[in-house]
Amino acid sequence: MINMDELKQAYRHHLLAFKIKPLQAYARSIGVDSPTKQNKDEVILSIIAVRTGEIQPIPLSTRGAPVKNTDFDANLPEGLEEIDVRFMVGKQNAIPSLPNSFDYKARINEIKRHPTVWTLRDPDAKEPEDESAKRIYKGQIATFNGVSMLLPLDGLDKEEKFLIPVELIRQGELEEGDVITCYAEERGQCLVATDVLTVNERVCGTYRRKKLEESALCFPEERLHFYDGKKFTAATNKYLEWLIPFGKGQRGLIIGPPKSGKSTLFLQTANAAKELNDGLQVFVLLVGQSPENVGLFRKQVPAEHFVYTTYEEEPERQIFLANLMLSRAVKYAECGNDVLLLVDSINALASAYNDTEESSGGKKLEGGLESKTVQYIKKYLGTARCFDKGGSITILGALSCATGNPADEGLFTRLSPISGLDIVLSGELAKRRIYPAVDYARTRSKDGNTLASDREVLLENKIRDSYLPANGQEALIELLKKSQNLEEFEKSLD
349, 485: one domain: yes
365, 470: one domain: yes
Q: What is the pLDDT of residues 433-449, one digit of tens each?
A: 988 899 998 998 876 56
Smallest Cα–Cα separation from 121: which of 198, 182, 179, 176? 182
Residue 64 has pLDDT above 70, yes or no: no
Query: Number of folded domains in the chain?
Result: 3
- Is 285 contained in some domain? yes
Residue 16 has pLDDT above 90, yes or no: no
- Is 353 contained in some domain? yes
Q: What is the pLDDT of residues 245-304, one digit of tens each?
A: 888 899 999 999 988 888 889 888 888 998 898 889 999 999 999 888 888 888 888 888
DSSP-derived secondary structure for 269-285: HHHHHHHHSTTEEEEEE
The answer, as to whether pTM is greater than 0.75, is no
For residue 107, what are the CA distances in angstroms to 75, 110, 113, 202, 471?
A: 10, 5, 10, 10, 58
63, 124: one domain: no
- pLDDT, residue 322, reads 94
367, 318: one domain: yes
- Sorted by sequence, the CB contacts under 8 Å of residue 200 that are 6+ apart come out as 178, 179, 180, 207, 331, 332, 334, 335, 337
10, 80: one domain: yes
Q: What is the pLDDT of residues 159-171, one digit of tens each?
A: 678 888 888 888 8
- pLDDT, residue 66, reads 45
Q: Residue 138 in 3-state DSSP? A: strand
Residue 395 has pLDDT above 70, yes or no: yes
- CA atoms 322, 326, 332, 337: torsion sign: positive
> Which residues lie across from 179 on neighbouring strands?
140
Contact criterion met (CB below 8 Å) for 236 and 404: no
CA-CA-CA-CA dihedral for 71, 72, 77, 79, to nearest 10: -70
- The model's confidence at residue 336, banded by pLDDT at 50, 70 and 90, is confident
139, 11: one domain: no
281, 149: one domain: no
How many Cβ atoms are within 10 Å of 426's Cβ, its own excluded?
Answer: 24
What is the spatial distance between Cα 259 and Cα 320, in angstroms, rounded to a whole number? Answer: 27
DSSP-derived secondary structure for 355-389: TSGGGTTS-B-GGG-BHHHHHHHHHHHHT-EEETT
Contact criterion met (CB below 8 Å) for 383 and 329: yes
The mean pLDDT value for 395-415 works out to: 89
- pLDDT, residue 68, reads 46
What is the spatial distance between Cα 227 and Cα 271, in angstroms, rounded to a whole number? Answer: 11
32, 145: one domain: no
The mean pLDDT value for 351-376 works out to: 89
Smallest Cα–Cα separation from 252: which of 395, 51, 402? 395
- pLDDT, residue 321, reads 93
Q: Are strands 202-203 and 338-344 parallel, antiparallel or unpaired?
A: unpaired
The mean pLDDT value for 27-50 works out to: 86
- Is 210 contained in some domain? no
Domain CATH code at residue 252:
3.40.50.300
477, 341: one domain: yes
- Sorted by sequence, the CB contacts under 8 Å of residue 245 that are 6+ apart come out as 223, 445, 447, 448, 451, 452, 456
331, 250: one domain: yes
Q: What is the pLDDT of residues 112-150, one digit of tens each?
A: 444 445 555 444 445 555 444 578 889 999 988 778 889
- Is 110 contained in some domain? no
- Is 155 contained in some domain? yes
- pLDDT, residue 86, reads 66
Contact criterion met (CB below 8 Å) for 58 and 33: yes
- Is 104 contained in some domain? no
Amino acid (one-letter) located at 339? V
Owning domain of residue 146? 117-203
- Is 358 contained in some domain? yes
- Sorted by sequence, the CB contacts under 8 Å of residue 366 that are 6+ apart come out as 406, 407, 409, 410
338, 406: one domain: yes
Residue 407 has pLDDT above 50, yes or no: yes
Domain CATH code at residue 193:
2.40.50.140
Mean pLDDT of the chain: 82
- Is 102 contained in some domain? no
339, 408: one domain: yes
Contact criterion met (CB below 8 Å) for 445 and 421: yes
- pLDDT, residue 96, reads 30
- The model's confidence at residue 380, banded by pLDDT at 50, 70 and 90, is very high
What is the spatial distance between Cα 192 and Cα 128, in angstroms, rounded to a whole number? Answer: 19
Q: Are strands 338-344 and 161-163 parallel, antiparallel or unpaired?
A: unpaired
- pLDDT, residue 445, reads 83
The end-to-end CA distance of the chain, in Å, is: 62
Q: Are strands 147-151 and 421-424 parallel, antiparallel or unpaired?
A: unpaired
Smallest Cα–Cα separation from 270: which of 252, 260, 284? 284
- What's the distance, CA 417 to chain centroid? 26
- pLDDT, residue 314, reads 92
DSSP 8-state secondary structure symbol assigned to residue 60: P
Residue 319, exposed/middle/buried by CB under 10 A (0-12, 13-18, 19+)?
A: buried
Contact criterion met (CB below 8 Å) for 400 and 345: yes
Residue count (the chain): 494
